[in-house]
């Protein structure tokens, strides 16, 4: 069912559709990165994994703003770093949280899990978006 939601090209204000739209946007942006993961097809160079995340999220806020969707506490861009864990396989995961707001009304808590390695520029996988209803406790409630 989530796949069917993702196949729709427009966003309506549900957490699932917003999750899919952001995931699709990241995939579009990833298609502009060369297989090495160290630069884009148009020659933009990356020096570390954070450059890649910045590239993937670039202009996301602007794209969704056209539909009346904004993000709370935008740093950097629409994302706000909450924590980072080192995984046993050498990967790290950073979690970024934000609240999506449509025309002033909260519509979803979003958690972006960014998997990366500090010893490589290329990402082991695309950032994963998890969307929750607006009444879901935010990351501050978990502290």
Contact in structure between 33 and 41 (CB atoms under 8 Å): yes
Does residue 96 sit in helix, strand or coil? strand
Share of the chain above pLDDT 90, in %: 42
pLDDT attached to residue 143: 56
pLDDT attached to residue 76: 53
pLDDT of 32 > 60? The answer is: yes
**Mean predicted confidence (pLDDT) in 26-54:** 93
pLDDT tens digit sequence for 95-130: 888 889 998 899 999 999 999 988 889 889 899 999
pLDDT band for position 11 (50/70/90)?
Answer: low
Q: Choose the most confident range, by mean pLDDT, from 2-6, 70-74, 88-92.
A: 88-92
Element (H, E) at 26: helix 15-30
pLDDT attached to residue 83: 78
Give the pTM: 0.82
Residue 120 or residue 33, greater confidence: 33
The number of folded domains in the chain is 1
Domain that holds residue 43: 2-142
Element (H, E) at 111: strand 105-116
Composition of the chain by helix, strand, coil, percent to 5: 30, 30, 45
């Amino acid at each position: 069912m989530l796949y069917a939601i993702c196949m729709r090209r427009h966003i309506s204000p549900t957490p699932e559709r917003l999750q899919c739209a952001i995931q699709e946007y990241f995939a579009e942006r990833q298609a502009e990165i060369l297989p090495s993961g160290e630069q884009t097809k148009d020659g933009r160079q990356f020096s570390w994994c954070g450059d890649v995340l910045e590239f993937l999220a670039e202009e996301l806020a602007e794209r969704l703003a056209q539909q009346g969707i904004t993000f709370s506490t935008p740093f950097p861009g629409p994302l706000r770093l909450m924590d980072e864990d080192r995984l046993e396989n050498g990967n790290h995961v950073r979690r970024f949280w934000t609240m999506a707001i449509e025309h002033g009304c909260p519509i979803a808590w979003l958690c972006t899990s960014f998997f990366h390695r500090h010893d490589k520029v290329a990402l082991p996988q695309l950032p994963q978006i998890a969307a929750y209803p607006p009444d879901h406790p935010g990351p501050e409630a978990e502290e």
